[in-house]
Structure formats: structure tokens, C-alpha cells
Chain A
Amino acid sequence: MDRLVVSAASILRLAPHIVFRFDETRQRWIMMAPERLMLPDEQAVEILQLMDGQTGVGTIIDTLAARYSQAPRELIARDVTAMLQDLADKGVLADGVTD
């Protein structure tokens, strides 16, 4: 298996067996992976909610840039790509097109 490298052209979705849901007990979004619980922060939750297996990373960045017009698009692009690469390296993301 090769490493999944994230770029603006990537189309991503959650890997099978990853559960991203709202936890009523703790009143927050959680992400569960094999033997791992992740507590995504507000920004990560927003990005994950935009990730549907069809929308490209570039489009997600555009959406966020429009939502937060005070931040430079370049900075948003860097943060979003880094966060998604980190999740990809943890095995949380899969290629939206090929799988």
C-alpha cells in the first residue's frame, strides 16, 4: 500500500471503518478509528463536514476562504492540506475516486 499524498486536486472521503459522529454524552464531535479516538477541533470538524467523497480539496479550501474572508486563502490552503495529510497518514482518509 502506498502513502496517500494530499494535494488541492485530491478528492477524499473517510476510510471505511472510520466513524465521525456527534457524541451526545460529551456534546462534541468525535472520530473513531481502530483503537483510536480522535477529538477534532472546531476547524477540523468544519473541514471533515465538507468532505463528502466528491468535492475536491481545492473546492473545500475555496469554501472556507469565502467563509473566512479575513484570512489569506494561501494560509487556509496550507492549514487544510497539512491537516488532511496528517489524517491520511493516520489511515483515516481514503481516495474518493478509486476506492
Chain B
Amino acid sequence: MASRIEPPLALLAEVTHRCPLRCPYCSNPIELDRASHELPEQEWRRVLTQAAALGVLQVHFSGGEPMVRRDLAALIGEASRCGLYSNLITSGTLGGERELQTFAAAGLKHVQLSFQDSTSNGGDRIAGLPRAHEKKIAFAKAVRAVGLPLTLNVVVHRQNVAGLAEMIEMAVALQARRIEIAHVQYYGWALANRGALLPTREQLDAATGLVETTRERLKGVLTIDYVVPDYYAVRPKSCMNGWGRQFLNVTPAGKVVPCHAAQTIADLVVPSVRDGSLADIWYHSEAFNRFRGTGWMPEPCRSCDRREIDWGGCRCQAFLLAGDASRADPVCSLSPDHSIIETARQEAQSLSHAFAYRHYG
């Protein structure tokens, strides 16, 4: 480790894996934590206090669907008392204005609401939940009615990307100030469904072109954040802006990981909030130090002039696709494993739309 370890900026608090939706690209791990294993309120309060003391500035309450927890308002209140800027990441299918009033009073600063498509038919089918889309529209209106700023999050893939223009118009109509358009990232559930979700190159180029022109047209009205699918990139994404550099994630059962997918790395010894303080884990755990900086890197990363730009890409992707978390991210065209990605791109030309919903194993 050459340079000093900086304190983290953000905490993703995955307070539960329970969720009424069954999206086939869910970012939760395949092995979902059950309700009986979730950290109780007192332990989450301790996590929030320790996070603030460690230097965390923003907390994202996420899941699963965080609103399944009855103590969510209390946790938001605790975050506010600690000076944390709090964000709710929700599907908007449980509760509405009454709950949002309580959250706002507790100090919530922002709501990020997911949509699965621009239409009810598409949205309900992808979420695997009847009337999901209609509930989300009502929830978005409730967010604005209580005066909270709203971001829409739309995950796009082969089966819904054709409706991207309508999704952006929907964001404007619902008075969102921001839309996050994220192509599916292929881990866990999404990797299992990749054949049905990965867009073609033509679809990707059309979506990217649309984002660029719309961004200009809606400047100052709607901010568009756009995450491209790294399978079509030449160089890997700077995953989490580097392992253990800015971000930490606490899972429902209290595991502490550098990213929400890190538990997929089979030989990673994952620390728990029950074993030590967040500060201990951030600075001293094997898990957080393992891929920090550049010392762990093999070639071609080690001598690459982008090694401190993309930090070797994604460790989980290296593990899932190349079988070793310390290899170069296979999406990089310089990776010896890059042919895996080329094969996946060819598979995207297939017409299969069949996917499996997420479920408890």
C-alpha cells in the first residue's frame, strides 16, 4: 500500500433483502439474507454512528425494499442526528405519502425511485409484480407532494431499452430533477439472465445517442446520469472508484463489504459489524486491503498507465468470468480473458426473452 487510506465517503445500508419485486437483474446476491438474520434496529444505529465517526458523509438506505422495515424512520432519524446526508432507494410499492412525511420529518434528504419500464405492461412483467408500475407513479407523486427531491432510476436492457425516450419523458412529467439510466451490470441474478438482457451493439449505440441529445435539451431541468454496460467498453469501469477507496456496504446480516457484489468472491473473508468497529474493518481488515491500491495487480494492469484511473476494473467480474478475483477485468481488451466477453456479445444477437425471476433459494 503506497498511499494513505482515505476515509470512506458513502455507506450503502442494505437494511433488508426482502422485496415485493422479483426483477431478474436484482443486484442482491443469489444467497439472499432471510428476515430472521437481519440486524436489529439497535445494531443499525450503532453502524450509523460509527460510519459518521469514520468520515462517511452520505448514507443510502437500500435493500431489497427498505420500507419493509418498520424501524426505517428511526434509522433515518439516527442518520440525521449523526450529520449523515440520507437517501432512500426504494421500489415505491409499499406505503406512500404518510410514510414519506415521517421520513422527511426524520431528516431524509432525497428519494431514488426505481422504474422497470415506461409502461404498466412492461414494468409489471419485469418486476414480476402486478400493479407495480401504477403504485410507483402514485409514489413518485407522493414524494413531490411532501417536497422531497426525486431521482428516477431505470435499469435498461435488451427488453426495455427501446422505451428509453418515454422513460425520460416520464421523469420530467413526475418532476424528477434527476434520472439515473443504468444498463444492467452482470453479476448474480443478472449474470444468470444475461442471455435475455444484454443489449445488442445497435441498441446500446441508439440509447447512448439519445442520452447525449436529450441531456443537452434538458439541461438545468433534468440531470441524466448514464451507466453504460461495460461489456461493450474497451477499458473497464472504475468499479466503486477503486476497492476500499470511497465506499462501504453493510448487508442485512451485518457483513461489511467494499461493494454490494463482493460476497460473490468465494475466498474473500468477509468481516461483520459484530466482529469489530467499522473503522477497524475499513483500515485493517484483510477484505478491504486485499485489492486496495495497485500492489495486488497482475499484468497487464500493473504496468498500465490507467491503473490509477480504473483501478483494474471490477474484482467481482474477474472472479465470476475468469475464475480469479485478482486477474484483470475481462472487459478490458488487454485482458487475456477478453474472449469471454466477445462470446457474450455474440450471444446478445439471439432472440431469447426468457428470464428467471429472483427468488429465495
Interface footprint category on A: 20 to 34
Whether, in the assembled complex, A91 has its beta carbon less than 8 Å from a beta carbon of chain B, the answer is yes
Quick one: which of A71-99 are within 8 Å of B by CB?
Answer: 88-91
Task: Please give the distance in Å from B244's CB to the nearest CB on chain A.
Answer: 17
Q: Considering the chains assembled together, what is the distance between the CA atoms of A1 and B176 in angstroms?
A: 10
Task: Given A25-B7, A32-B57, check contact A17 B109 (CB 8 Å).
Answer: yes
Number of A-B contacts (CB under 8 A): 59
A23 CB-CB contact with B under 8 Å: yes
Bits for A11-53, please: 1 = Cβ < 8 Å to B, else 0.
0000111010101011000101011010000000000000000
A4 in contact with B220 (CB, 8 Å): yes
Query: Which residues of chain B (21-59) have a CB below 8 Å from chain A?
Result: 54-55, 57-58
Which positions in B face A, CB cutoff 8 Å?
7, 9-10, 54-55, 57-58, 60, 83, 85, 87, 109-110, 112, 147-149, 151, 172, 175, 177-178, 180, 219-221, 223
Docked complex Cα distance between A89 and B221 (Å): 7
Contacts of A89 in B (CB 8 A): 219-220
Q: Does A35 lie within 8 Å of B221, measured CB to CB?
A: no
Residue contact B151 to A35, C-beta cutoff 8 Å = yes
Partner of A88, one of B58, B60, B85, B220: B220
User: Measured between alpha carbons, how far is A91 from B149 in the docked complex, in Å?
Assistant: 10
**Least distance between B61 CB and chain A CB atoms (Å):** 13
CA distance A17 to B177 in the complex (A): 12
Shortest A90–chain B CB gap in Å is 7
C-alpha spacing A25/B85, complex, angstroms: 15
